[in-house]
Amino acid sequence: MKNYISQLHGNEQNTVHCIKKLIAGQMNALIIYGFGFETVSMVKRSAFIKKHIKEKRSFTCDLLIITPDPVTIDNAKKTEVQEMIAHFGQVNMTVHTISFVLQQLNNGNLFFNWVHKNAMLLHNHNNSVQLLPPAISSEYWPQVEAFYAADPEMASYLHVNLQPIVKPHPKEKAPAQPPLEIRLTLDTQPGWQAAAPDHVARGNIQ
């Protein structure tokens, strides 16, 4: 299940919509995922200024941009696009071709698989997401959490793969003990008495 832009607040939605629309047009993007968003708001009030409320906002987002194979996005192009959208806030762009992303997904790369699983799908040109393999399960969450805790800047995102999920073996049940057999025999003299099972009685006779 994907996280969609509707989960953002109104101002954030408008900002992200404008950013992804501009990037999609400038880079011919097939897919754009948003995997990090941060909005910081500062409100200042003072009795010594006429305008009693002074508000500052800053917006940061992290995007994975997937382009067609023939499209090459060099650093100059990325810089050009970032300058065009700088007034919206800070946009951190990770750009790769569709063939590279497919290779990373199939090789078990943690970053690409978790973005595909859990990031916000912002742009999906001609339903290009169908080109990608099925998303991984949520069982990998502990590995993802540990990766982010160790490397919040995700500088090593190209070099960390998912590890196989080790499931504990079910405990073996102890073999069931045979039920204890108790027989009652009637003796006319002392009354009812417990009698040992046949095999115990035979052992005593021997």
Q: Is it the case that residue 176 has pLDDT exceeding 80? A: no
| pLDDT class of 1 with cuts at 50, 70, 90 | very low
Distance CA 203, CA 69 (A): 85
- HSE value, Cβ hemisphere, 13 Å, CA-based, for 50: 0
> Tens digit of pLDDT for each residue in 117-127?
999 999 999 99
Q: Is residue 48 assigned to a domain?
A: no
Q: Is residue 89 assigned to a domain?
A: yes
pTM, entire model? 0.75
Q: Is residue 183 assigned to a domain?
A: no
165 neighbors 139 (Cβ within 8 angstroms): yes
Q: Is residue 173 assigned to a domain?
A: no
Q: Is residue 26 assigned to a domain?
A: yes
Q: Is it the case that residue 110 has pLDDT exceeding 80? A: yes
Number of domains, the chain: 1
Please report, for the domain that includes residue 135, its CATH number. 3.30.460.10
User: What CA dihedral angle connects 99, 104, 108 and 110, to 10 degrees?
Assistant: -130
Distance CA 15, CA 5 (A): 11
Distance CA 105, CA 138 (A): 15
Give the range of the structural domain holding residue 135, as residue numbers without chain letter.
Answer: 5-42+54-150
Q: Is residue 63 assigned to a domain?
A: yes
